[in-house]
């Protein structure tokens, strides 16, 4: 009993460490979603970054759901398990991987930002991606996608760039840090719209083989049997009985 109590206490303590990062009101999340589309104008002093992960985590799951919706509305033949794992791996891999890379780059450029703030900043930056992909997956016009890519995706990217500029000292450091983030963020949206479906189809063909047509039963041609053979067979059966 003492051992179980100690395990339960340690588990509760570990969960309690993460609680401040998810303790947020829905009204605050809504306000931060709107703010993620409005670039800041004042970059002379460090801009405030929300140190919570609830909103970014929900946006990543929303992006996963949008990718699944886009695959189902297309002509792609899918396997649910492989498709779900690929979407989760792509979205979480980008969020965690790019956040870690940008935090390391920010450390080299002497930017005043923590890992949690970078996760929050990049996570809320995916709100523009969710809007763009949700609209363009249902309305299939490349010109409409490019408009949303430039306007909606560009606004969310400018917001992140402005925040990083306000927290970085030096023109060269700002150029390296903000240029890298802007390029990765905008190219990721292009990848999700144009290349993600083809990559998933290639993965499915590699793991599970090419998409085979459904199995159909075809009636075989039965040779015509003469009446003599039928009569002979019937007489032999009658004699046996």
Q: Is residue 121 part of a domain?
A: yes
Q: Is residue 233 part of a domain?
A: no
Which pLDDT score is estimated for 7? 56
pTM attached to this predicted model: 0.75
Q: What's the rounded Cα separation, in Å, for the pair 177 and 101?
A: 10
Q: Is residue 22 part of a domain?
A: no
Domain membership of residue 168 as a residue range: 47-209
Q: Is residue 225 part of a domain?
A: no
Q: Is residue 40 part of a domain?
A: no
Q: Is residue 114 part of a domain?
A: yes
Q: Is residue 16 part of a domain?
A: no
Which pLDDT score is estimated for 76? 54
Q: What is the mean pLDDT of each run of 10 residues along the chain (241 residues)?
A: 56 64 88 89 80 91 90 60 79 94 92 91 94 89 90 93 90 92 94 79 62 40 45 50 46
Which pLDDT score is estimated for 217? 36
10 Å Cβ neighbour count for 89?
11
Which pLDDT score is estimated for 4? 60
Which pLDDT score is estimated for 209? 54
10 Å Cβ neighbour count for 115?
14
Q: Is residue 37 part of a domain?
A: no
């Amino acid at each position: 009993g003492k051992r179980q109590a100690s395990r339960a206490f340690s588990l509760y303590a570990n969960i309690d460490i993460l609680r401040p990062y998810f303790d947020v009101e829905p009204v605050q999340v809504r306000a931060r979603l709107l703010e993620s589309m409005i670039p800041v104008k004042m970059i002379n002093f460090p801009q405030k970054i929300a140190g919570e992960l609830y909103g970014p985590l929900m946006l990543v799951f929303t992006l996963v759901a949008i990718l699944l919706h886009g695959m189902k509305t297309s002509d792609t033949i899918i396997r649910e398990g492989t498709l779900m794992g690929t979407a989760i791996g792509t979205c979480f891999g980008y969020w965690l991987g790019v956040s870690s890379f940008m935090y390391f780059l920010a450390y080299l450029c002497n930017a005043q930002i923590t890992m949690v703030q970078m996760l929050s900043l990049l996570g809320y930056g995916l709100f523009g991606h969710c809007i763009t992909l949700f609209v363009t997956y249902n309305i299939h016009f490349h010109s409409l996608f490019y408009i949303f890519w430039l306007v909606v995706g560009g606004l969310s990217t400018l917001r992140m760039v402005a925040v990083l500029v306000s927290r970085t000292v030096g023109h060269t450091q700002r150029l390296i840090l903000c240029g890298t983030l802007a390029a990765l963020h905008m190219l990721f949206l292009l990848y999700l719209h144009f290349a993600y479906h083809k990559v998933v189809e290639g993965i499915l063909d590699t793991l599970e083989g090419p998409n085979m047509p459904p199995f159909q039963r075809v009636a075989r041609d039965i040779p015509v049997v003469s009446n003599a053979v039928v009569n002979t067979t019937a007489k032999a059966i009658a004699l046996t009985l």
